[in-house]
Every structure is written in structure tokens, then in C-alpha cells.
Amino acid sequence: MRNPAVTLRPVHVVTALADPVRRAIVERLHDGPQPAGSIAAGFDITRPAVSRHLQVLLAAGVVSVQSTGRERRYRLQPEALAPLADWIARLREAPGREDGPWDRHLDALATEVARTVRERRDRAQDQAQGEQHTDEFPGVSA
């Protein structure tokens, strides 16, 4: 009999990563641990909303948190993604089949995630450049 905790783990990770804000948080944490305030500053949603997203990622084991005084620093736990990667690999390696619908769907998902990450990065760069240009000409509004 399978252990339900092990069997359900990939589902929790998938659920946690289903939201684009949570995927963006994971991308940010890929660069290293960050305090909650720094993470929240990168989004156009309230800090309590970012906190709720962090709690979902924490419950799924995708991130961990360390408190030092009043600061809570969140860290990506890449090993939590291993069961999901294993599950996807098993789906891709189903015996007796060639490229099938799963490959197309998984490739489409990978493309969509990459597109979303690229758009967010480009938007952030555009905003940073816009702020830089307004700083160059004090008194002139964009």
C-alpha cells in the first residue's frame, strides 16, 4: 500500500504552483532568500495577500522561513519540487507510447510558464527604465 503523504506530495506542490503570483515568488526566491517585505514590494497586491501566498508555498514545502528578530526570510526549497519532477518524468516515460497528448500539454505548460516569467521580467525592466527616465529630467512628468 502506498504512503498517502508521499503520493499526495506532488499534488500539493502543483496546487501551490498553480497561481501565477506564487510562481513569481518562487522565481524571485530562486535568486536567494529574501525577507517578506522585499518579496511583497515586487507585487501590485497587498502585503497580506503576498503573505497568504507565502503561507501556501510554506504549507506545500516549496519554501521555508527563518525568523530573526522581527524579520522573516523566505528561502526556496528546490528539493520539494523533486517529487513533481519525478511524477512528470513517469508520465513522459509511459511504456509503449511515443509523443502523446501529455507531451503536448506539458510542453504547452512549460511554454506558458516561460512566457509569463518573460513578460513579468520585461514589465519590471520597462517600469525601472521609465522611473530612470523621469529621474533624468526633474520637473518633467512622463
Give me the residue spans of the domains in the chain: 1-93, 97-142
For residues 101 and 56, what is the distance between their CA atoms, to the nearest angstrom?
30
Q: Which CATH code of 3.30.360.10, 3.40.640.10, 3.30.1950.10, 1.10.10.10 fits the domain covering 1-93?
A: 1.10.10.10
Residues 64 and 110: beta-carbon distance below 8 Å? no
Confidence of residue 125 (pLDDT cuts 50, 70, 90): confident
**Model pLDDT for residues 39-82, shown as the tens digit of each residue:** 999 999 999 999 999 999 999 999 999 998 999 999 999 999 88
Q: How many CA atoms lie within 13 A of 36 on its CB side?
A: 20
Residue 87 neighbours by CB under 8 Å, 6+ apart: 10
Q: Identity (one letter) of the amino acid at 135?
A: D
Closest CA to 60 of 86, 78, 48: 78
Closest CA to 39 of 15, 63, 18: 63
Residue 137 neighbours by CB under 8 Å, 6+ apart: none
